C-alpha cells in the first residue's frame, strides 16, 4: 500500500524508530530482523565511502537470512567485551518516493557503555531509510547507517 | 646464556632486559614505553626498511596526491607532471606546519596555508610569500636561496601497484628487501588491474607491534575467530603452512587450502567451535568463486614493519596499521576488486566484506584482543611473553600452522634492527 506523509504516518514512524532503538539498547536483538522486510538491505558505511562511491560496507546484511545470521553470530560465535548502546535520534525528515515507500533521513548519536563503566560517544551518523508497509506494519526495506567518521572504535558487533 | 641487557643509552633512560631465550620471549615494556616508540622511529620507520605508503591506483593522474603516515610521521605521496611518484614529509620547511591537510586530491603546487611557502610536486621549494619584502622593507636575507629548502624527501619504490618509501640510504632494493616469496605473492594478487571497493579504519587501543604479532599468529586465528572454524574457511586441519622470508624472517605468509580439510578431533575440544555449521540462514554470504590455480583460499601475508595483505576466499584487502602513540593504532582496511570482475564476482567480494574489517565475522575480535594484552600487561613491563608454540626457532613451517614461528620471525628482525640482540 502506498504510504502518504500524514501526521498519523509521522507518528507511526516515530514509534518505529523508538521501538528499533530500544530493541538494540535493551539487548533484545533477536527481534531486530523483524523491523525489516524479507528482501531488505541493511548497511553500515561511512560518509567518505559514500562520497567516493565505494560499494562495500563495514557491515552488510541482504535479506532476512543474513540479518538473522548477524544476531546468531554475535550471540554464539563472536567474542567481545560486554557493552550496550544508547541511541539518541533526531526527528526524521520524510519524503515520499514515487513507488509508495517513504524515504527518511535521521541523525543519530550512539553512546556506548562498557561492562566496567567506561563510556564514550561511539558513533555519530545518519540513517538513510526506505520505509514500506507490509501486512499493516511499517518495515525497513532499506536502512543504511552512514557514519560521519571513517574510524570505528575497537569493533562493531551490535547493529546500529 | 645471560639476558641481553640493552644499556641505558640511545634514548633509553632505563636499561632494557631481553631474556636469553631470545625471540621466544618479549618484554612487555616494548608495548608501553614511549622511549621505545621514539627509538623505533629512528631505527625502523626512518631506518633501512621500505614503508608502505599507498596504492598507485590512489594517485592515477598527474598532480594527484595522497597523505599517509610512516610511523607517526605525516607523509605526502604525489604523482608529478612527468608521471613519477614522489614522497615527502608533510612538514613545511619554514615553521613545520602540515602542508597538505586533505587526505587526497589533485594540485599543481603544494602550498602551506600558514605563510604561503609553495612547493612543486617533488617537494622542492618554488616560492615564498614576500620574499623581497614589501615597500622595500622586510623580506628574506640576501643569501636566502629557494634551492636550499624543500620538503624532506623519501626514496620511493613501486612494486605491483604498491608504493613504498624509505628515509634511509642503506635500504636495499625493494625486491631484495621483500624477498622472492613476498614479491611472488604481490604479483599473484596485485599485478592485474585492480580498484578500491571499500575503505574504513579501526582504532585499536594497543601498540602497533601487537597487531604485527596478531596477523602472524595462525595459532590464535582458528581458536578466537570461531566463525572461521565453524564454516571451514580456515582451520589448522586444512593443507596449509607458514612461509618466512629469507634471510631475515620478518615477513611471512600463512596460507590454507579449503578443499583439503581432514577434520581433526582436536577441534571438537575447542570451546569456541560450537556454532552449528548448518546454521547460516543466509549461506550466500560465503558464496565464492575459484580464482587461482594454486588452490589457496586463505592467505595472510605480513611485511615488516606494518603492512598485511589478506586474501580470504575472494576478499582481498590491504591492512596498514599506523602507530598513534605507544597504546593506540589506526588500522586502515582497503578492500580491493579487479577491474575485470563481473557484477556477480563484485557482489561476492562485497558480501565477503562481512568477514573482515572492524565488524568482520572473523576479525572483529582482533579489535579487542590486542587491547587485552595491552591492558593485561600494564604494570608488568619487566615480565615477558612466552612464544614457544611450534618450537623455538623462526623458520618456515610447511606442514603445520599450529605454531608461533612467524611471530618469532617478527621479533628476530625487530631485535636486529633495533639493536636489541646484542
> Taking CB atoms and an 8 Å limit, are B335 and A56 in contact across chains?
yes
From the CA of B208, how many Å to the nearest CA of chain A?
14
> Taking CB atoms and an 8 Å limit, are B281 and A66 in contact across chains?
yes
Let me know how long chain B is.
Answer: 422
The three-class DSSP label of residue B244 is strand
Instruction: Please name which of B255, B359, B365 lies closest in space to residue B311, comparing C-alpha atoms.
Output: B255
Instruction: Please name which of A141, A126, A158, A130 lies closest in space to residue A45, comparing C-alpha atoms.
Output: A126
In a mutational test of the B interface, the residue from A54, A155, A158 whose CB has the highest number of chain B CBs within 10 Å is A155
> What distance in Å separates the CA atoms of residue B57 and residue B193, rounded to the nearest whole number?
9
> Taking CB atoms and an 8 Å limit, are B359 and A59 in contact across chains?
yes
> Taking CB atoms and an 8 Å limit, are A79 and B226 in contact across chains?
yes
What does the DSSP assignment read for A96-154? E-TTS-EEEEEEEEEEEEETTS-EEEEEEEEEEEEEEEETTEEEEEEEEEEESSSEEES
Q: Which residue has the cell 498519523?
A: A8
> Taking CB atoms and an 8 Å limit, are B275 and A157 in contact across chains?
no
Closest residue in chain B to residue A39, using alpha carbons only:
B282
> What distance in Å separates the CA atoms of residue A17 and residue A104, rounded to the nearest whole number?
11
- Asked whether residue A22 carries a pLDDT value surpassing 60, the answer given is yes
| B17-21, B276-280, B369-373, range with the lowest pLDDT | B276-280
B327 touches chain A (CB under 8 A): no
> What distance in Å separates the CA atoms of residue A145 and residue A140, rounded to the nearest whole number?
12
B367 touches chain A (CB under 8 A): yes
pLDDT at residue B233, rounded to an integer: 67
B279 touches chain A (CB under 8 A): yes
> Taking CB atoms and an 8 Å limit, are B365 and A66 in contact across chains?
no
What are the tens digits of pLDDT across the range A64-88? 999 999 999 999 889 999 999 999 9
The verdict on whether omega for the bond into residue B305 sits within 30 degrees of 0, i.e. cis, is yes
> Taking CB atoms and an 8 Å limit, are B350 and A55 in contact across chains?
yes
pLDDT at residue B401, rounded to an integer: 85
**B371 chain-A contacts, CB cut-off 8 A:** 154
- Asked whether residue B173 carries a pLDDT value surpassing 90, the answer given is yes
What are the tens digits of pLDDT across the range B334-356? 999 999 999 999 999 999 999 99
Q: Which of B205, B224, B353 sits opposite A57 (nearest CB)?
A: B353
> Taking CB atoms and an 8 Å limit, are B353 and A60 in contact across chains?
yes
> What distance in Å separates the CA atoms of residue B221 and residue B328, rounded to the nearest whole number?
22
Closest residue in chain B to residue A155, using alpha carbons only:
B358
Q: How many CB pairs under 8 A join A and B?
A: 131
pTM surpassing 0.90? yes
What is the ipTM metric for this complex? 0.97
Residue B80 banded pLDDT, cuts 50, 70, 90:
very high
Amino acid at each position: 500500500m502506498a504510504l502518504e506523509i500524514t501526521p498519523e504516518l509521522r507518528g507511526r514512524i516515530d514509534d518505529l524508530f523508538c521501538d528499533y532503538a530500544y530493541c538494540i539498547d535493551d539487548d533484545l536483538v533477536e527481534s531486530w530482523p523483524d523491523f525489516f522486510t524479507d528482501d531488505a538491505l541493511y548497511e553500515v558505511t561511512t560518509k567518505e565511502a559514500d562520497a567516493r562511491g565505494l560499494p562495500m560496507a563495514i557491515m552488510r546484511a541482504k535479506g532476512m537470512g543474513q540479518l538473522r545470521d548477524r544476531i546468531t553470530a554475535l550471540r554464539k560465535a563472536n567474542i567481545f567485551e560486554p557493552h550496550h548502546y544508547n541511541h539518541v535520534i533526531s526527528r526524521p525528515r520524510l519524503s515520499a518516493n514515487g513507488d509508495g515507500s517513504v524515504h527518511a533521513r535521521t541523525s543519530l548519536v550512539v553512546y556506548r557503555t562498557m561492562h566496567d563503566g567506561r563510556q564514550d560517544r561511539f558513533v555519530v551518523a545518519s540513517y538513510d531509510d526506505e520505509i514500506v508497509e507490509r501486512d499493516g506494519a511499517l518495515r525497513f526495506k532499506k536502512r543504511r547507517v552512514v557514519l560521519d567518521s571513517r574510524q570505528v572504535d575497537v569493533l562493531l558487533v551490535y547493529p546500529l | 646464556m645471560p639476558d641481553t641487557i640493552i644499556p641505558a643509552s640511545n634514548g633509553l633512560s632505563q636499561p632494557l632486559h631481553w631474556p636469553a631465550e631470545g625471540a621466544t620471549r618479549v618484554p612487555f615494556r616494548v608495548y608501553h614505553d614511549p622511549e621505545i616508540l621514539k627509538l623505533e622511529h629512528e631505527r625502523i620507520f626512518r631506518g633501512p626498511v621500505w614503508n608502505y605508503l599507498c596504492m598507485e591506483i590512489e594517485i592515477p593522474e598527474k598532480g594527484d596526491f595522497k597523505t599517509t603516515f610512516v610511523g607517526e610521521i605525516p607523509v605526502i605521496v604525489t604523482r608529478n607532471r612527468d608521471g613519477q611518484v614522489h614522497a615527502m614529509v608533510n612538514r613545511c620547511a619554514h615553521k613545520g606546519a602540515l602542508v597538505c591537510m586533505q587526505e587526497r586530491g589533485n594540485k599543481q603546487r603544494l602550498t602551506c596555508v600558514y605563510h604561503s611557502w609553495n612547493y612543486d610536486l617533488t617537494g622542492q621549494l618554488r616560492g615564498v610569500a614576500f620574499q623581497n619584502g614589501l615597500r622595500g622593507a622586510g623580506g628574506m636575507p640576501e643569501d636566502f636561496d629557494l634551492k636550499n629548502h624543500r620538503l624532506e624527501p623519501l626514496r620511493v619504490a613501486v612494486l605491483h601497484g604498491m608504493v613504498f618509501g624509505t628515509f634511509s640510504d642503506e635500504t636495499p632494493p625493494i625486491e631484495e628487501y621483500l624477498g622472492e616469496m613476498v614479491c611472488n605473492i604481490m604479483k599473484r594478487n596485485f599485478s592485474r588491474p585492480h580498484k578500491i571497493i571499500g575503505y574504513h579504519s579501526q582504532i585499536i587501543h594497543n601498540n602497533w607491534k601487537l597487531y604485527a604479532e596478531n596477523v602472524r599468529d595462525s595459532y590464535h586465528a582458528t581458536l578466537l575467530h570461531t566463525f572461521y572454524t565453524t564454516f571451514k574457511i580456515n582451520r589448522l586441519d586444512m593443507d596449509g603452512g607458514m612461509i618466512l622470508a629469507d634471510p631475515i624472517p620478518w615477513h611471512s605468509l600463512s596460507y590454507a587450502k579449503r578443499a583439503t580439510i581432514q577434520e581433526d578431533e582436536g577441534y571438537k575440544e575447542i570451546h569456541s567451535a560450537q556454532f552449528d555449521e548448518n546454521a547460516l540462514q543466509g549461506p550466500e554470504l560465503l558464496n565464492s568463486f575459484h580464482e587461482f590455480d594454486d588452490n589457496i583460499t586463505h592467505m595472510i601475508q605480513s611485511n615488516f614493519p606494518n603492512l598485511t595483505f589478506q586474501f580470504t576466499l575472494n576478499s582481498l584487502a590491504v591492512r596498514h596499521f599506523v602507530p598513534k602513540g605507544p597504546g593506540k593504532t589506526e588500522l586502515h582496511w582497503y578492500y580491493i576488486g579487479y577491474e575485470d570482475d563481473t557484477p556477480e564476482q563484485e557482489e561476492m567480494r562485497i558480501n565477503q566484506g562481512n568477514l573482515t574489517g572492524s565488524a568482520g565475522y572473523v576479525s572483529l575480535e582482533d579489535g579487542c584482543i590486542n587491547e587485552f594484552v595491552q591492558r593485561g600487561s600494564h604494570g608488568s613491563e619487566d615480565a615477558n611473553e612466552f612464544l614457544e608454540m611450534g618450537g623455538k626457532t623462526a623458520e618456515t613451517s610447511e606442514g603445520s600452522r599450529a605454531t608461533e614461528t612467524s611471530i618469532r620471525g617478527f621479533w628476530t628482525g625487530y631485535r636486529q634492527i633495533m639493536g636489541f640482540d646484542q
